[in-house]
Amino acid sequence: MRVWKSLRASLPMVAVLAALLLVPAGLAPGGTWRWTEAWLFLGLYGGLAVVGSALLAVYRPESFEVRQQGVVAARERKQPLIDAVGSVIYAAYLASWTVFIPLDVFRLHLLPEPGLPLRIAGLAATVAGGSVAMLAVAQNRFAAPTVQDQSADGQQVVDTGLYGVVRHPLYAGNLLAFAGAALWLGSTAALVGVLGMLGFTLARMHVEESWLRANLPGYAAYAGRVRSRLIPFLI
Protein backbone atom coordinates (compact mmCIF):
# COMPACT_ATOMS: atom_id res chain seq x y z
CA MET A 1 0.00 0.00 0.00
CA ARG A 2 2.77 2.44 0.92
CA VAL A 3 4.70 1.60 -2.26
CA TRP A 4 1.58 2.22 -4.36
CA LYS A 5 1.09 5.55 -2.61
CA SER A 6 4.69 6.49 -3.36
CA LEU A 7 4.20 5.63 -7.04
CA ARG A 8 1.12 7.84 -7.21
CA ALA A 9 3.24 10.65 -5.79
CA SER A 10 6.43 10.21 -7.82
CA LEU A 11 5.30 9.04 -11.26
CA PRO A 12 3.25 12.18 -12.06
CA MET A 13 6.29 14.30 -11.15
CA VAL A 14 8.47 12.28 -13.52
CA ALA A 15 5.80 12.54 -16.23
CA VAL A 16 5.66 16.34 -15.88
CA LEU A 17 9.45 16.54 -16.04
CA ALA A 18 9.45 14.37 -19.17
CA ALA A 19 6.82 16.58 -20.81
CA LEU A 20 8.71 19.78 -20.00
CA LEU A 21 11.84 18.39 -21.65
CA LEU A 22 10.60 16.20 -24.50
CA VAL A 23 7.66 18.20 -25.87
CA PRO A 24 9.77 21.34 -26.56
CA ALA A 25 12.55 19.11 -27.91
CA GLY A 26 10.19 17.34 -30.28
CA LEU A 27 8.45 20.50 -31.48
CA ALA A 28 11.45 22.83 -31.72
CA PRO A 29 12.86 23.40 -35.23
CA GLY A 30 15.78 21.03 -35.55
CA GLY A 31 14.71 19.16 -32.44
CA THR A 32 13.91 15.49 -31.96
CA TRP A 33 11.81 13.22 -29.79
CA ARG A 34 14.76 10.81 -29.79
CA TRP A 35 16.88 12.98 -27.52
CA THR A 36 19.20 10.35 -26.07
CA GLU A 37 20.60 12.51 -23.28
CA ALA A 38 17.12 13.46 -22.08
CA TRP A 39 15.86 9.88 -22.11
CA LEU A 40 18.90 8.70 -20.14
CA PHE A 41 18.48 11.60 -17.72
CA LEU A 42 14.82 10.74 -17.19
CA GLY A 43 15.69 7.09 -16.68
CA LEU A 44 18.34 7.80 -14.05
CA TYR A 45 16.91 10.82 -12.25
CA GLY A 46 13.32 9.67 -12.62
CA GLY A 47 14.26 6.20 -11.46
CA LEU A 48 16.06 7.67 -8.47
CA ALA A 49 12.97 9.71 -7.61
CA VAL A 50 10.64 6.70 -7.88
CA VAL A 51 12.88 4.31 -5.93
CA GLY A 52 13.76 6.96 -3.36
CA SER A 53 10.10 7.84 -2.84
CA ALA A 54 9.22 4.17 -2.36
CA LEU A 55 12.03 3.70 0.17
CA LEU A 56 10.88 6.76 2.08
CA ALA A 57 7.29 5.57 2.10
CA VAL A 58 8.30 2.18 3.50
CA TYR A 59 11.16 3.03 5.85
CA ARG A 60 10.63 6.74 6.63
CA PRO A 61 6.86 7.24 6.29
CA GLU A 62 6.85 10.48 8.31
CA SER A 63 9.48 11.98 6.00
CA PHE A 64 7.51 10.78 2.98
CA GLU A 65 4.27 12.28 4.22
CA VAL A 66 5.74 15.70 5.00
CA ARG A 67 7.04 15.97 1.43
CA GLN A 68 3.56 15.43 -0.05
CA GLN A 69 2.49 18.97 0.84
CA GLY A 70 2.21 21.65 -1.82
CA VAL A 71 4.17 24.89 -2.10
CA VAL A 72 1.42 26.71 -0.19
CA ALA A 73 0.76 25.29 3.28
CA ALA A 74 -2.57 25.05 5.04
CA ARG A 75 -3.57 28.22 6.92
CA GLU A 76 -3.12 26.62 10.34
CA ARG A 77 0.54 25.97 9.49
CA LYS A 78 1.18 29.73 9.62
CA GLN A 79 3.37 29.86 6.53
CA PRO A 80 4.87 33.35 6.09
CA LEU A 81 3.29 35.11 3.11
CA ILE A 82 6.69 35.86 1.61
CA ASP A 83 7.50 32.14 1.61
CA ALA A 84 4.21 31.23 -0.08
CA VAL A 85 4.68 33.85 -2.80
CA GLY A 86 8.35 33.00 -3.22
CA SER A 87 7.62 29.28 -3.47
CA VAL A 88 5.12 29.83 -6.29
CA ILE A 89 7.56 32.07 -8.17
CA TYR A 90 10.37 29.56 -7.69
CA ALA A 91 8.20 26.71 -9.00
CA ALA A 92 7.37 28.77 -12.09
CA TYR A 93 11.05 29.60 -12.57
CA LEU A 94 12.04 25.95 -12.30
CA ALA A 95 9.42 24.90 -14.87
CA SER A 96 10.50 27.67 -17.26
CA TRP A 97 14.17 26.74 -16.78
CA THR A 98 13.40 23.12 -17.66
CA VAL A 99 11.57 24.10 -20.85
CA PHE A 100 14.42 26.45 -21.76
CA ILE A 101 16.96 23.62 -21.85
CA PRO A 102 15.66 21.86 -25.01
CA LEU A 103 14.97 25.20 -26.66
CA ASP A 104 18.55 26.25 -26.07
CA VAL A 105 20.01 22.89 -27.11
CA PHE A 106 18.10 22.64 -30.40
CA ARG A 107 17.31 26.24 -31.33
CA LEU A 108 18.92 29.09 -29.40
CA HIS A 109 22.51 27.90 -28.83
CA LEU A 110 23.16 30.89 -26.57
CA LEU A 111 26.51 29.62 -25.29
CA PRO A 112 28.97 26.93 -26.44
CA GLU A 113 27.80 23.54 -25.28
CA PRO A 114 29.87 21.65 -22.70
CA GLY A 115 32.26 18.94 -23.88
CA LEU A 116 31.80 15.25 -23.21
CA PRO A 117 33.87 15.16 -19.98
CA LEU A 118 31.76 17.95 -18.49
CA ARG A 119 28.58 16.24 -19.63
CA ILE A 120 29.58 13.01 -17.92
CA ALA A 121 30.53 14.94 -14.79
CA GLY A 122 27.12 16.60 -14.98
CA LEU A 123 25.32 13.26 -15.11
CA ALA A 124 27.29 12.08 -12.08
CA ALA A 125 26.44 15.34 -10.28
CA THR A 126 22.76 14.86 -11.06
CA VAL A 127 22.70 11.41 -9.49
CA ALA A 128 24.84 12.53 -6.53
CA GLY A 129 22.72 15.63 -5.92
CA GLY A 130 19.47 13.71 -6.13
CA SER A 131 20.82 11.12 -3.71
CA VAL A 132 21.94 13.80 -1.23
CA ALA A 133 18.52 15.46 -1.39
CA MET A 134 16.73 12.16 -0.81
CA LEU A 135 19.02 11.25 2.09
CA ALA A 136 18.45 14.69 3.64
CA VAL A 137 14.70 14.10 3.59
CA ALA A 138 15.15 10.64 5.09
CA GLN A 139 17.20 12.10 7.94
CA ASN A 140 14.76 14.90 8.74
CA ARG A 141 11.08 14.14 9.11
CA PHE A 142 10.39 17.87 9.38
CA ALA A 143 11.80 18.70 5.91
CA ALA A 144 8.55 20.19 4.63
CA PRO A 145 8.42 21.94 1.24
CA THR A 146 7.43 25.18 2.98
CA VAL A 147 8.33 27.26 6.02
CA GLN A 148 5.61 26.35 8.50
CA ASP A 149 4.68 25.70 12.11
CA GLN A 150 5.31 22.03 12.93
CA SER A 151 5.19 22.36 16.70
CA ALA A 152 2.10 20.12 16.84
CA ASP A 153 4.20 17.42 15.16
CA GLY A 154 6.92 17.67 17.80
CA GLN A 155 9.41 19.50 15.61
CA GLN A 156 12.93 19.59 16.98
CA VAL A 157 16.37 20.48 15.69
CA VAL A 158 17.98 17.75 13.56
CA ASP A 159 21.76 18.01 13.86
CA THR A 160 23.01 14.55 12.90
CA GLY A 161 23.97 12.97 9.58
CA LEU A 162 24.12 15.45 6.72
CA TYR A 163 22.68 18.11 9.04
CA GLY A 164 25.83 17.89 11.13
CA VAL A 165 27.83 19.05 8.08
CA VAL A 166 25.59 21.74 6.54
CA ARG A 167 22.31 23.21 7.72
CA HIS A 168 20.48 22.80 4.40
CA PRO A 169 21.64 19.59 2.68
CA LEU A 170 18.33 19.23 0.83
CA TYR A 171 18.84 22.55 -0.95
CA ALA A 172 22.50 21.72 -1.61
CA GLY A 173 21.58 18.39 -3.21
CA ASN A 174 18.90 19.96 -5.39
CA LEU A 175 21.22 22.70 -6.66
CA LEU A 176 23.90 20.12 -7.47
CA ALA A 177 21.36 18.02 -9.36
CA PHE A 178 20.11 21.03 -11.35
CA ALA A 179 23.62 22.11 -12.31
CA GLY A 180 24.47 18.56 -13.33
CA ALA A 181 21.32 18.26 -15.43
CA ALA A 182 22.16 21.44 -17.35
CA LEU A 183 25.63 20.11 -18.15
CA TRP A 184 24.52 16.61 -19.11
CA LEU A 185 21.71 17.87 -21.34
CA GLY A 186 24.13 20.23 -23.08
CA SER A 187 23.00 23.75 -22.15
CA THR A 188 25.70 25.99 -20.70
CA ALA A 189 23.15 28.83 -20.62
CA ALA A 190 20.91 26.69 -18.38
CA LEU A 191 23.90 26.16 -16.10
CA VAL A 192 24.13 29.94 -15.76
CA GLY A 193 20.41 29.90 -15.02
CA VAL A 194 21.12 27.82 -11.93
CA LEU A 195 22.49 31.03 -10.42
CA GLY A 196 18.88 32.22 -10.34
CA MET A 197 17.95 29.12 -8.35
CA LEU A 198 20.85 29.83 -6.01
CA GLY A 199 19.51 33.35 -5.48
CA PHE A 200 16.02 32.00 -4.70
CA THR A 201 17.55 29.42 -2.37
CA LEU A 202 19.61 31.96 -0.44
CA ALA A 203 16.55 34.19 -0.03
CA ARG A 204 14.45 31.21 1.08
CA MET A 205 17.11 30.18 3.61
CA HIS A 206 17.09 33.69 5.07
CA VAL A 207 13.31 33.56 5.57
CA GLU A 208 13.42 30.00 6.89
CA GLU A 209 16.25 30.56 9.32
CA SER A 210 14.73 33.77 10.64
CA TRP A 211 11.54 31.84 11.36
CA LEU A 212 13.37 28.89 12.93
CA ARG A 213 15.53 31.09 15.16
CA ALA A 214 12.40 32.79 16.45
CA ASN A 215 10.19 29.71 16.81
CA LEU A 216 12.28 26.53 17.17
CA PRO A 217 14.12 26.14 20.51
CA GLY A 218 17.76 25.24 20.03
CA TYR A 219 18.02 26.32 16.40
CA ALA A 220 20.17 29.38 17.09
CA ALA A 221 22.64 27.22 19.04
CA TYR A 222 22.65 24.67 16.20
CA ALA A 223 23.40 27.39 13.65
CA GLY A 224 26.31 28.45 15.85
CA ARG A 225 27.72 24.92 15.82
CA VAL A 226 27.13 24.16 12.14
CA ARG A 227 28.10 27.36 10.39
CA SER A 228 27.94 26.19 6.75
CA ARG A 229 24.55 26.40 5.12
CA LEU A 230 25.13 24.75 1.71
CA ILE A 231 28.83 23.98 1.13
CA PRO A 232 31.19 23.19 4.00
CA PHE A 233 33.59 26.08 4.74
CA LEU A 234 32.25 28.15 1.80
CA ILE A 235 28.55 29.02 2.03
Distance between CA 163 and CA 213 in Å, rounded? 16
**Which stretches of the chain score pLDDT less than 50?**
none
Residue 38's pLDDT is what? 96
Residue 39's pLDDT is what? 96
Q: Which residues, including other chains, have CB under 8 Å from residue 153's CB and lie 6 or more apart? A: 142
Residue 202's pLDDT is what? 95
Residue 56 Cα to chain centre, angstroms: 16
Residue 43's pLDDT is what? 93
Residue 203's pLDDT is what? 94
Is the distance from CB of 109 to CB of 183 less than 8 angstroms?
no
**Burial code of 40-58, b = ≥16 C-beta within 10 A, e = fewer?**
ebbeebbebbbebbbebbe
Is the distance from CB of 64 to CB of 76 less than 8 angstroms?
no
**pTM as predicted:** 0.93
